[in-house]
Amino acid sequence: MLTKTPRPLRNGSNGKNGKNGKNGNKSPRVAELPKIDTLTDTRDILAHAAKEARQSDYFIVDVDAHVTETAFWPDVIDRMESDVYRQMARAFKGRGPAPGLLNSTPGMLYQDVFGRIPHQQRLGEAVPGGHTHAQVTLVQRAMDSMGIDYMVVFPTPMLVLGMHPQVETEVVVGHAFNKWLTEEILPHDPRIKAMLYLPFNHPEESLKAVETYADNPSVIGFSVTSTRFRAVNHDSYMPLYSAIQSTGKPLAFHSGFHWGDQSMQQCNRFISMHAISFVYYNIIHMTNWIINGLPERFPKLKVIWIESGLAWVPFLMQRLDSEYMMRSSEAPLLKRRPSEYMADMYYSSQPLERSNLDLTEATFKAMRADTQLLFASDWPHWDFDLPNSITSLPFLDEQAKRNILGLNAARLFNLEVPKHKMIGAKTKKAPAVCEPVTA
Amino acid sequence: MDEVAIAKLNDIPDGDYRVFALEALEVGIFRTGSKVLAYENVCPHAGGPVCQGKIFHKVEEVITPDRKSAGLRFGKARHIVCPWHGYEYDLATGCHPGDPSLRLTPVKVAVRDGRIYISVPE
């Protein structure tokens, strides 16, 4: 049974009673609220979200949130299989912001807008010692504040590890992270799930990760960090996709940014690079995935596209459809238009573009959001979304909101829905795609 | 509308601010000299605790007569920055610099006899 973590009563500091109602009415109780900084408790940062959460009964699955693995880097290093790499990683200790063996990317420290968004800079709040891991406590505080029933966690600086010039480093770090996550974090709370890191620049080692964790109930899928220069259609990946398909668990492409990418170096401001980068990598991977007929080769493989927002989806649907109809000979495996394959895939909602709600509504319609869209917060990153990013959309009916917030994910990942939140939940499985083409 | 004494003016240093909760109403009080402004502690973007954020001066870009960029500088206008997502609002107007329709909700405030009073909706 899913239960929230015990939560102590929290009051604003310096609470006192007002006594000076001019009209003689009983004055409201006055409490002072703290300024928010890097030491502020997550529950205080998200106190407004908690108010909203207390007023709703939504079942919510957050399919994309993050741990800060570098805050516990010695524990990750300890799990590196190679003693040489362990020594190398430890040798970097105290020598700069990027912990040993990680490739720092230009702009990583720009994310908090130079001190304006403290929780992006650091979650330096006090956490109780003892049995529960500090990272688990941080995740639980966020979940409870936002009313989230399950949270799927991904790494943070490792999102750019696919750009590391040493393939073997991605392998060593990736495997060590997976061990740390499955040994230290996931066992503490059944509400915390993961789509484990695939060291994708090494197809065989990625397959090894799938074989190792396929039966772990807290591992509900596998992920490729999209920020890399690899053609996802390369034949070397076919055994990997086949193995993931056999597990019945989804494959996710989690996007990111890299200012070192030569294309992105044309952008002189972080905002420009960040806005484009997250979309750019997933557009390339999606295009290769579709045009090379991977949905036909692996018709039961469920694919999720994470952290690229949604506006790119109708753009690419139309673009690929248009070109495919003129050049179908270059995509002979396709039996349908590219947009139809894209509409069978899953997408995470964050960062949800909603400055023009007419466009947002059209996007939802094109991607069949009622069944294919999965809520994501991206907490604790600076452009995180709350559940109200979905509940406030005026064009969604109540059932669509419930599907997007959690029920689509429950079906996709086979997650238990608490009885009191079963409103609108269906036991029906996600729609199947076409049968494979045989050689 | 009830008026509530919320703090002494001298409790807030010149240029500083404090945030108070009066049951459901949360209010940021911003002092400049003998003047005070008050806004609801709710960001119009996503409902964040905007007044609990930091104050930054508005960033400006200097353009030369031949339309080249001469770099960035801090201007005089002061912005309160929502700590959730970085939305900035001019303290004097409550408006977002790029979209004036996105605006903080002002709260009626007065200073009498060294005390700050805010008007609380009933």
Q: pLDDT per residue over A91-125, tens digit each?
A: 987 776 667 788 777 778 899 999 999 999 889 99
- SS3 state at A34: coil
Q: Which residue has the tokens 């650091």?
A: A122
Buried b (16+ CB within 10 A) or exposed e, A136-150: bbbbbbbbbbbbbbb
Test mutation, B19, B25, B54, B84, chain A, max A CBs within 10 A: B84
Residue A38 contacts B, CB cutoff 8 Å: no
- Residues in B closer than 8 angstroms to A33, CB to CB, are 19-21, 26, 41, 49, 52
- Residues in B closer than 8 angstroms to A52, CB to CB, are 47
Task: With a cut of 80, say whether residue A6 has pLDDT above it.
Answer: no
Nearest-CA residue of chain A relative to B51? A35
Cβ pair B4:A21 closer than 8 A: yes
In this predicted model, what pLDDT tens digit does every residue of A209-222 receive, in sequence order?
A: 999 999 999 999 99
Cβ pair B83:A119 closer than 8 A: yes
Report residue A7's pLDDT band, with 50, 70 and 90 as the boundaries: very low
Report the C-alpha gap between A197 and A154 in whole angstroms. Answer: 8
What pLDDT, on the 0 to 100 scale, is given for residue A5?
54
Nearest-CA residue of chain A relative to B54? A116
Residue A118 contacts B, CB cutoff 8 Å: yes
Rg over alpha carbons for chain A, rounded to the nearest Å, is 22
Residue A51 in tokens = 């108010």
Task: With a cut of 80, say whether residue B46 has pLDDT above it.
Answer: yes
Task: With a cut of 90, say whether residue A129 has pLDDT above it.
Answer: no
Report the C-alpha gap between B89 and B105 in whole angstroms. Answer: 11
Report the C-alpha gap between A225 and A253 in whole angstroms. Answer: 6
Residue A32 contacts B, CB cutoff 8 Å: yes
What pLDDT, on the 0 to 100 scale, is given for residue A108?
82
Report the C-alpha gap between A388 and A51 in whole angstroms. Answer: 12
Test mutation, A48, A52, A356, chain B, max B CBs within 10 A: A48
- Closest among A406, A375, A209, A203 to A306, alpha carbons compared: A375
Residue A245 contacts B, CB cutoff 8 Å: no
What pLDDT, on the 0 to 100 scale, is given for residue A364?
98
E strands, A168-213, in order: 192-197
How distant is the Cα of B55 from the closest Cα of chain A, in angstroms? 8
Residue A116 contacts B, CB cutoff 8 Å: yes
- SS3 state at A36: coil
Q: What is the DSSP letter of A27?
A: P
DSSP states of A117-134: SHHHH--------SSS-H
What pLDDT, on the 0 to 100 scale, is given for residue A38?
96
How distant is the Cα of B85 from the closest Cα of chain A, in angstroms? 6
What pLDDT, on the 0 to 100 scale, is given for residue A14?
42
Report the C-alpha gap between A205 and A202 in whole angstroms. Answer: 6
Q: How remote is the C-alpha of A398 from its chain's centroid?
A: 24
Spell out the domain ranges in chain B.
2-120
What pLDDT, on the 0 to 100 scale, is given for residue A96?
67
- Residues in B closer than 8 angstroms to A387, CB to CB, are none
Q: What is the DSSP letter of A307?
A: S
Residue A420, C-beta contacts closer than 8 angstroms, at least 6 positions apart: A57
Q: Is residue B75 within 8 Å of residue B60, measured between CB atoms? A: yes
What pLDDT, on the 0 to 100 scale, is given for residue A424?
72
Q: What mean pLDDT comes out for the span A371-385?
A: 98
Task: With a cut of 80, say whether residue A8 has pLDDT above it.
Answer: no
Nearest-CA residue of chain A relative to B21? A31
Nearest-CA residue of chain A relative to B42? A48
Per the CATH hierarchy, to which homologous superfamily does domain A48-421 belong? Answer: Metal-dependent hydrolases (3.20.20.140)
Q: What is the pTM of this model?
A: 0.91
- Residues in B closer than 8 angstroms to A27, CB to CB, are 2, 4
Residue A47 contacts B, CB cutoff 8 Å: yes
- Considering only CB atoms, A388 lies closest to which of B5, B46, B83, namely B46
A–B CB contacts, 8 A cutoff, strictly below: 97
Within 10 angstroms of residue A54's Cβ, the number of other Cβ atoms is 8
Residue A33 contacts B, CB cutoff 8 Å: yes
- Considering only CB atoms, B5 lies closest to which of A18, A117, A385, namely A18
Report the C-alpha gap between B48 and B66 in whole angstroms. Answer: 41
How distant is the Cα of B70 from the closest Cα of chain A, in angstroms? 14
What pLDDT, on the 0 to 100 scale, is given for residue A436?
55
What pLDDT, on the 0 to 100 scale, is given for residue A356?
97
- What H or E segment, with its residue span, contains residue B109? strand B109-112
DSSP states of B55-98: EEEEEEEEE-TTS-EEEEEEEEEEEEE-TTT--EEETTT-B-SS
Task: With a cut of 50, say whether residue B98 has pLDDT above it.
Answer: yes
Residue B66, C-beta contacts closer than 8 angstroms, at least 6 positions apart: none
Cβ pair B49:A115 closer than 8 A: no
- Residues in B closer than 8 angstroms to A35, CB to CB, are 19, 52-54
In this predicted model, what pLDDT tens digit does every residue of A260-305 receive, in sequence order?
A: 999 999 999 999 999 999 999 999 999 999 999 999 999 999 999 9
- Considering only CB atoms, A33 lies closest to which of B19, B23, B88, namely B19
Q: What mean pLDDT comes out for the span A32-40?
A: 96
Phi first, then psi, for residue B53 (nearest 5°) are -85, -165
- Residues in A closer than 8 angstroms to B52, CB to CB, are 33-36
Percentage with pLDDT > 70 across chain A? 90
In this structure, which amino acid lies at residue A267?
C
Cα→Cα distances A194→A112, A211, A237, Å: 25, 15, 21
Average pLDDT over chain A, rounded to an integer: 91
Does A351 sit behind a cis peptide bond, omega within 30 degrees of 0 on the bond before it? yes
Report the C-alpha gap between A289 and A151 in whole angstroms. Answer: 27
Q: Is residue A299 within 8 Å of residue A340, measured between CB atoms? A: no
User: Sheet harboring B35-40: ordered strands across?
Assistant: A13-17, A29-33, B17-22, B25-32, B35-40
In this predicted model, what pLDDT tens digit does every residue of B51-79 receive, in sequence order?
A: 999 999 999 999 999 999 999 999 999 99
In this predicted model, what pLDDT tens digit does every residue of B29-41 receive, in sequence order?
A: 999 998 999 999 9
Residue A36 contacts B, CB cutoff 8 Å: yes
Task: With a cut of 90, say whether residue B81 has pLDDT above it.
Answer: yes
Report the C-alpha gap between A165 and A395 in whole angstroms. Answer: 46
According to CATH, what is the number of the domain B2-120?
2.102.10.10
- SS3 state at B106: strand
- Residues in B closer than 8 angstroms to A18, CB to CB, are 4-6, 22
